[in-house]
Structure 1
Amino acid sequence: MSDIVKIIPFGGVRENGKNMYAVQVNEDIFILDCGLKYPENELLGIDIVIPDFSYLKEHKDQIVGVFLTHGHADAIGALPYFLQDFKVPVFGSEMTIALAKIDVEEEPALKGFNDFHIVDEQKEIDFGNVVVSFFKTTHSIPNSLGIVLKTSQGQVVYTGDFKFDQTAVSEYATDYGRLAEIGNSKVLALLSDSANAENYKPSANEIDISGKIMETVKYHDGRIIVASVASNILRIQQVINAAAKAGRKVILTGHDLEKIVNTALQMNKLHLPDPDLIVPLSQIDKLAPEQVILLETGKMGEPIKALQKMAARKTGAQSIQKGDLVYITTTPSHAMETTVAKTKDMLYRAGAEVKSISDEVNSAGHATKDDLQLMINILKPEYLIPIQGEYRLLAAHADLAQEAGIPADHIFITTKGDVLEYDGKEMHLGKGIEVGNTMIDGIGVGDIGNIVLRDRKILSEDGIFVAVVTIDRKKKKIITDPKITSKGFVYQRTSSELISESAEIVKNVVQANLDNKEFDWGHLKQDVREKLGKYLFEQTKRHPVILPVIMEVNQHHRKRVNNNKNNEK
């Protein structure tokens, strides 16, 4: 009997990052990548967003393992959260596994977990009805791999992040021969990177990018702050090479970056032309400005927010100084364009010069239109599933795939929870599953939902209005007049009339509820919110969060007894 193949995206479609895809062959589930994404502006206070594992928890005994393409956060960042629920084997290249271990080892609940398996492009793993193999791809981190699942129905191929670069060195080079070998057998479905699908310009090769970095570092007289993603090993190597030639020292900022760089150095994935090239931050005051390169990646490897803190002079010796050059060597996603523009403005105001490598060359680490069409022509897939990108990028990928000869009805633009099923004759959209987002706030995992986010949004826009009142329910009277506190809504000293009238409304509502024979605490608080909310909106056209605080006391008067014997007659 032929295998039934299902493909389910848990993230990475119609969004930036959070790549995670499940391929189910009969009863076995193979997880491809397990990434996170960084929150956009409306996710107030949220640190990161990871996929929703609810469906997988119901099928945990069917999960064969996790197969990772590369070591960036969008591919491995959710792994520590995933492994707490699913103690399954993890497969990836040497560099990918090393970076995954850094994240996993920081999670106390995973102490002792060591079910990691290093694979490469020459390894095949036979799981019975599925054989998993790999192929080398070019990305901004060494040892990136694509993944192939060979089934009786054909191969399911997942590219991961990739681009084509004819000048890439060995650890970054695409194996074209292996790709051709895969394409010579039936490729049932291709899950292909769409993050740069709108870009019709050819990507600059890394030799040209390295030259641009070298030129920038060479001709600036003051300090240089290089903003990069911590796990972009290739970019870090290029900065190190430029620093060595310009006679500068490199200072690493941040614990995350130090761990990644040290790991890469130990594995010989990074090379220091001079063993004394990297110096600690404590040495910065001993170096002349023209000797310094600060490599800034920020918390969890994202540099933009870190640059904002530097511009606001909240980072001590790392703070922006007049004459600094801030060199942004990462290519932010389209969703971050507004944030990047605001950050640049802050940097200019702080006295820095700002330069972005993306303004000079097409430096993206993802496939352009020509790259995507080349991948399609080499692999010749029967079905294409664009992944890794917002909807317009998936749609752009679909358009260029049709140009390359794939019929429109063989292209599926999916959303989270869609189930694509191949029954031996055709691939179709089956009954979907419910897949949401899991938001991480501090140590809280999944305890922040839409209601909490809505309240945070209201608080950020309209503030909070607190009414405190003390009552004696038995005597049906108010003990202390309502006290009103406003935070982020109105300035109390200049709004005395509004505050007084609000206090009177609260007083009347509370007394009316006390006089009601069927007194109910829930009804009392809701009544305060409704009456006060209506009045505040009429006066201000705003909806603050209204928080009624009703305290109850019982007043008991004890008869005073005089025990002074001197008063006895």
Structure 2
Amino acid sequence: MSDKLKIMVLSGVREQGKNMFAVQVNDEIFVLDAGLKYPDSSLFGIDVVIPDMEFFKQYGDQVAGIFLTHGHADSIGALPYILRDWDIPVFGSKLTIELAKIDVELAKIDVQRENKRRNNQLFNVIDADTEIDFKNASVSFFHTTHSVPDSLGIVIHAPQGQIVYTGDFKFDPSARPAYRTDMTRLAEIAKNGVLALLPDSSNAEAVLPNASENEVGNYITNVFRNAKGRIIVAGKASNLNRVQQVFNAAAATSRRVLLTGRDVAKIVHTAMKMGYLEVPDGLLMKAKELKDVPDEKTVILETGRMGEPLQSLQKMANNRHRTITIHEGDLVFIATTPSHAVETTVAITSDMVYRAGGTVIELGRNMHTSGHATGRDLQTLIDLLKPRILVPVIGDYRLLEAVKDLAVETGMDPDDVYITQNGDCLEYDTKRGQFFRGDAVPGEDTMIDGSGVGDVGNIVLRDREVLSDDGIFIAVVTIDRKKKKIVSEPQVTSRGFVYIKANQKLMNDSIQVIKDAIQANFEHKKFDWTELKQDMRSSLGKFLYKQTNRRPVVLPVVMEVNQNRHRAMQKKAEDAAEGNKEKPVKKPVKKNNRKKQTRPANKSAKGKKPVNKNKKDSKADDKR
């Protein structure tokens, strides 16, 4: 067997989220993370975006396993869609596996009951001391610091050398043991030499060091002490470190906490059951208790749908939330550091909260805190591991370039830093001892819209974009094809295009355009439905653009009278074209003219009158 080593960048570079990478050693493929990302405003109607499922269609039978670094959606969110169709083992820490199971359940993907049992059997719990031997390589793990406990980095031990994938990480010596990066283990990995390092790049531009989690916890407690009314905390359900700090601050200020949303309740109770969250007795309350607890003793932890709290805050501010309405004196504490993609949404949400009478404090504006490595952290890691090549992952393009600059500052050759894009594949030349760019692998986005997986593509998105920009124009007309005439006056309407009452002339003129297009089509020798609709669409589109400088989606609806008669005539013409064929003469069948005897209705089967056993009833009938 030839020594084959490939590093596949499937998803998660030049973007934020949906992390998924793979390492191929001979005929085995090791997938690192399987995440999703939430769509931006350009993806109309899309719920989430996951990596290209075409990869598993092509290479699924070679995948030895999916190895998870931590339990956030950007690392586990695509699992439900993968496990629905492929039997692939999944490896992760105890908490990560439990969060992954919750994610599969919350995704509400329609799988058969035996598949659910099968999926539970595919999950494998590992820890930082685990090393798994496969046919061509082995896989080991090491503790990392992130905002969720039990986060792990992954090492692929291939014959050519070690490939290290950090996942989301940072360095914080003051972190609790369950959150602390194992520097000793990293030093051991470095002793054996690191062939390739795939580090987290999402915070590479940060110059200032991250505040320690102890400092963040103290800050949150002070915010709670100074608040006079209710506190509504907006955070991510899976950020268990922040959830613990909120619980600690609430307990320190004699407040009770209400969890809103199934996501946070399920995740929190799972973490409590497993011992990852410490919750004093009586701290949590139910929704029905909220009215009995004073505002100054209340904390509401809102995570929103799929862990995104901003939409829920907007509903609270607009009095559209199912249970909570923001009122005078409320403090909204945004406990996450928003990405650049949602900064505008945060600003809009804050404005809505102030209009409703509340105030807003953003943790990210007052403290430099993140669950991701700063530039200094990355340089420390690179200097410690001294990799042969560096492949920055998990971040936008500018962040990948920032990691390259940091690596060059530590002494790495710029040619040994590979800036990739989704779908890139780096192959290792064993003879020359270096990597080169190989053939591309599947690296497109898979759109999830409702229950549909990948059935929405660029054409559908373009139509949705046009609808959102210029609306739709609908034209309905009934014709008689045989007489070549319009049976009734065309009807036109629009949505999102123009205000109809104020544009009656435009609507009337468009009716004449429809008539002209249909009449021109009637003059053709052969009638063609497709051509008729295309002519209507083209003529209306040009007319409407000329009048309004807008391009709505034009939807022609053409109905026909005497449709059955036209079909019969068409069939008759087709038969005539085939020629007269001699048909076999059927012999006349003699009919049996004998009358069929029927049984008298008032007699029994033997021809006798039925006997009435009830004499009284019989006499009564005679009297009648």
TM bracket (short chain): over 0.9
1:132 deviation in Å?
A: 0.2
CA displacement 1:449-497 (0-9 Å, x = unmatched): 1111111111111111100111111221111111111111101101000
Partner of 2:542: 534
Moved more, 482-491 or 516-525: 516-525
1:304 deviation in Å?
A: 1.5
Native 8 Å contact 1:2 1:153 kept in 2? no
Q: Distance in 2 between matches of 1:180 and 1:264?
A: 31
Q: Distance in 1 between matches of 2:180 and 2:220?
A: 21
Partner of 2:144: 137
Residue 111 of structure 1, aligned match among 116, 129, 147: 116
Q: Distance in 2 between matches of 1:555 and 1:213?
A: 73
Partner of 1:27: 27
CA RMSD of aligned residues (A): 1.3
Partner of 1:477: 485
Q: Which amino acid aligns with 1:358?
A: G
1:525 deviation in Å?
A: 1.2
Partner of 2:529: 521
Paired positions, count: 556
1:529 deviation in Å?
A: 1.3
Q: Distance in 1 between matches of 2:192 and 2:27?
A: 24
Q: Which amino acid aligns with 2:27?
A: E
Q: Distance in 1 between matches of 2:338 and 2:561?
A: 58
Q: Distance in 1 between matches of 2:287 and 2:19?
A: 34
SS at match of 1:427: strand
CA displacement 1:285-307 (0-9 Å, x = unmatched): 12111111110110011112221
Partner of 2:594: none
Q: Distance in 1 between matches of 2:427 and 2:525?
A: 62
Partner of 1:323: 329
- Structure 2: segments with no counterpart, 5+ residues: 566-624
Q: Which amino acid aligns with 1:210?
A: G
Residue 296 of structure 1, aligned match among 302, 316, 329: 302
Partner of 1:97: 97
Residue 127 of structure 1, aligned match among 113, 125, 134: 134
1:407 aligns with 2:413: yes
Q: How does 1:52-91 map to 2 (within 5 A)?
A: 52-91=52-91
SS at match of 1:250: strand
Native 8 Å contact 2:52 2:442 kept in 1? no
Partner of 1:426: 434
Native 8 Å contact 1:284 1:317 kept in 2? no
SS at match of 1:468: strand
1:317 deviation in Å?
A: 3.5
- Structure 1: segments with no counterpart, 5+ residues: 558-569
Q: Distance in 1 between matches of 2:435 and 2:146?
A: 30
CA displacement 1:192-237 (0-9 Å, x = unmatched): 0000011111000000000110000111011111000110000000
1:362 deviation in Å?
A: 0.8
Native 8 Å contact 1:97 1:118 kept in 2? yes
SS at match of 1:189: strand
1:85 deviation in Å?
A: 2.1
Partner of 2:591: none
Q: Distance in 2 between matches of 1:483 and 1:466?
A: 8
Q: Distance in 1 between matches of 2:381 and 2:513?
A: 69
1:238 aligns with 2:245: yes
1:181 aligns with 2:188: yes
1:513 deviation in Å?
A: 1.1
1:491 aligns with 2:524: no
SS at match of 2:209: coil
Q: How does 1:40-439 map to 2 (within 5 A)?
A: 40-105=40-105, 106-109=108-111, 110-112=115-117, 113-114=119-120, 115-272=122-279, 274-424=280-430, 425-439=433-447
Partner of 2:514: 506
Q: Distance in 1 between matches of 2:514 and 2:288?
A: 58
1:140 deviation in Å?
A: 0.3
CA gap of 1:389–1:556, structure 2 versus 1, over 3 A, is: closer
Identical columns (%):
55
Native 8 Å contact 1:330 1:357 kept in 2? yes
Q: When the two structures are superposed, what TM-score results if normalisation uses the length of structure 2?
A: 0.88
Residue 440 of structure 1, aligned match among 441, 444, 448: 448
CA displacement 1:136-164 (0-9 Å, x = unmatched): 00000000000000111110000000000
**Rg larger for:** 2
CA displacement 1:5-56 (0-9 Å, x = unmatched): 1011111100000000011111111010000000011011111000012132
Q: Distance in 2 between matches of 1:375 and 1:445?
A: 38
Q: Distance in 1 between matches of 2:345 and 2:418?
A: 32
Q: Distance in 2 between matches of 1:151 and 1:474?
A: 75
Native 8 Å contact 1:57 1:85 kept in 2? no
SS at match of 1:198: coil
Q: Distance in 2 between matches of 1:74 and 1:222?
A: 35
Q: When the two structures are superposed, what TM-score results if normalisation uses the length of structure 1?
A: 0.96
Q: Distance in 2 between matches of 1:355 and 1:459?
A: 37
1:3 deviation in Å?
A: 2.8
Q: Distance in 2 between matches of 1:331 and 1:170?
A: 23
1:555 deviation in Å?
A: 7.9
Q: Distance in 2 between matches of 1:542 and 1:5?
A: 53
1:514 deviation in Å?
A: 2.2
